Structures are given as C-alpha cells and as structure tokens.
Amino acid sequence: MSTALVITSIAASDHPVLNQYAAHCKKENIPFYMIGDKASPSGFSLDGCDFYSLSRQRELDLNIVKLLPEKHYGRKNIGYLLAIRNGATVILETDDDNYAHPEFWNERTRQIKAHAIANKGWINVYEYYTKARIWPRGFALEKLQDALPPLEDFKEVLTDCPIQQGLANENPDVDAIYRLILPLPLNFEGKAKIALGNKTWCPFNSQNTTWFKEAFPLMYLPSYCSFRMTDIWRSFIAQRIAWVNNWSILFHEATVWQERNMHNLMRDFSDEISGYTNNLRIAETLDKLDLLPGADQLGRNLIMCYRAMVDLQLVDPKEIPLVEAWLQDLRN
C-alpha cells in the first residue's frame, strides 16, 4: 500500500501539530499534502510537508480548482486529488488541531474483524466507548433517546471496511449543543472495532479518517452547504453508497487527541441548525434512492445523492458542477 496524509490549514509553519505530522511523514517517507487558503501565511515552508498555496493550486490542471470557493474547507478536495494522482492507495486525513498518538501511524487493513451491526437505524457509536452521555456531531437529535443495543449482541466477524473512522480524545467531535451544556475533556475507553453496515447510520467526520482506494470517489467534500455540515453530509452520502457495495463503515478507538482551535460556539450552533433540523430527513431521503452496486456506478450514485440534497434545498445547485468536475478529475 502507498499511504498519503492530507490536511487543510491556514496555520503558520511553526504550528506544533503540523510539525508533528511533517516530522513523521519525512521519517517514514509518507507524502503529506497540505492545502492552504486565502489566509495562509506567505512564505509557508515546512520540511516534510508539500504545501499548496492558492497561487500554486491555481497552476494545477484540475477542473475542480476553477470552481472551488475560497475560504472554505472544501479546498481539501484538491489534496485528495493530488494524493490519488501520485499513486496513493490509502489516504489518511486529519485536522491541524489533532495530535497523533503513535497508533495513528499503524498499518491499516481494509478487511478487519469487528462487531458487525446492520439494519439497526441510528446507532450512537460514541456510547460504546464511554459511560458518559455523548453523541457525535451530526447525529439525528430525534434519535438520541433511542435505546442502544448491547455491543455483545453483535458478533465479531471479518468485515470489508474501505472507510474507517478513528475517535479523538480530550476534545472529541461533538456538536455545539453538547459543548454548550455538557463537560469536556473526555477520553474514550476500550479498543472495540465496530462496523456499521446496511441501513445503519452514524455520522463520521474528517478529523481522523482512513480511506482505501476503492472508496476514493466518496471523499468529495461539498462546498455549498453549512461549513459545520460539509464532512457530516459527506458521511451520510458515503454510508448510503457503501451499503449497495456491501461495504461497512468502521469505527475504532481514539488514535488522536484534540486541542481544539478557537471557536465561537454560538456561531457553530447557528451553522449546525440546518443539520439539527434535517439530518434525519436527509437519511430518509438518501435511503429511498435507487443506487446501483459496482465501482463503475460510484460517480452516478454520487451525483444522484447530491441532486437529492439540492432538491431538499440544503445544498446550492452550484454544487453539481463541482461534483462533476471532481469526477472528471478522478477519471483523468
């Protein structure tokens, strides 16, 4: 396997998290693509990190570069495409406020023995790793009071998981409601592997995520929706398409810990309202789509899902040309 790391950041080159990743990537000869944006410092330079400023991005012969808005997390899509173009078969992604535990660098396997959960609707995976009351950002609020089935009810079997989500300790990825009313920090416990299969929903993020080659088309991050929902709504679409390919989404123990960047929690709350009021409806809508199995159908399925999001008036119609450009760049 050829592994690459992708991060988007506007931090300076002395940033401790970026330096941690760059040092390890240089030592292990892992390509590290960092995608900058309008606020990136001029003259950014970090040994072990291949930095793409806006001007350098504009020089790329990628269709998506011409369409991506500036000052948006969706520019991370450029990093994915660069890693793919240069031969990556496994892509790791995280953010600039997540420090890596040593286990973050362990070799991944796509086929993994895990508790296989299918046909169970919404499953709050976080609560399998702690006795605390907690839920992941993007979880349907209407489902928070649903009883969680015991993990022992689900056998550990060899499962195909081309998308894998690791947890984050200290400051896990929770929504603004949680941050406003419940305490942090929190560390997860245990090392269970949990694979969510057909008709089983739990959002995953972009903070500690592994993608295998077969699932690369599903990495696409939307640009014309709430910033706080871009990776969450991507996860719903990826899960829905995974089902028709008999893939599961793996959740595993924390391999990073987060020192969260400064956030205005009320602004986060406002940006998450479209998710609070629509995440359940999105899942129900995606569930009804007539998707087709097979690697050659991933692009068709992706377009269908985003057109459904446009029909729900949750994503701007300008998203569709971006998705088409993404798929064209993948074909190229």
Residue 1, pLDDT score:
76
Task: In whole angstroms, give the CA distance from residue 103 to residue 163.
Answer: 17
> Residue 102: its pLDDT value, please?
96
Overall average pLDDT of the 28-50 stretch: 97
Average pLDDT score over the chain: 97
Dihedral class, residue 98 (left if φ above 0, else alpha if ψ from -120 to 50, else beta): beta
pLDDT digits (tens, 9 = 90+) for 218-267: 999 999 999 999 999 999 999 999 999 999 999 999 999 999 888 899 99
In the predicted structure, residue 306 carries a pLDDT above the cut 80 = yes
Tokens matching residue 209: 């995520």
Neighbours of 206 (CB within 10 A): 22
Give how far Cα 45 sits from Cα of 3, 11, 38, 39, 48, Å: 22, 11, 16, 15, 9
Is residue 155 over pLDDT 80?
yes
Task: Give the pLDDT band of residue 300 (cuts 50, 70, 90).
Answer: very high
CB neighbour list of residue 91: distance below 8 Å, 6 or more residues apart: 3, 4, 5, 6, 80, 83, 84, 210, 211, 216, 219
What pLDDT sits at residue 231? 98
Residue 165, pLDDT above cutoff 90: yes
Average pLDDT value for residue range 9-23: 97
pLDDT for 202 equals 98
Q: Which amino acid is at 183?
A: P
Burial tier of 225 (Cβ tally within 10 Å: 0-12, 13-18, 19+): buried
Give me 149's structure tokens: 């089935």
Q: What is the DSSP string of 312-327?
A: TTSS-TTHHHHHHHHH
Judge whether 247 and 301 are in contact, CB under 8 Å: no
| Segment 209-216 mean pLDDT | 98
pLDDT digits (tens, 9 = 90+) for 170-200: 999 999 999 999 999 999 998 999 999 999 9
Mean pLDDT of 294-307: 98
Q: Which pTM does this prediction carry?
A: 0.97
pLDDT at 262: 84
What percentage of the chain has pLDDT greater than the value 90? 98
| Cα distance between residue 276 and residue 225, in whole Å | 14
Quick: pLDDT tens for 69-92: 999 999 999 999 999 999 999 999
Reported as a pLDDT band with limits 50, 70 and 90, residue 143 is very high
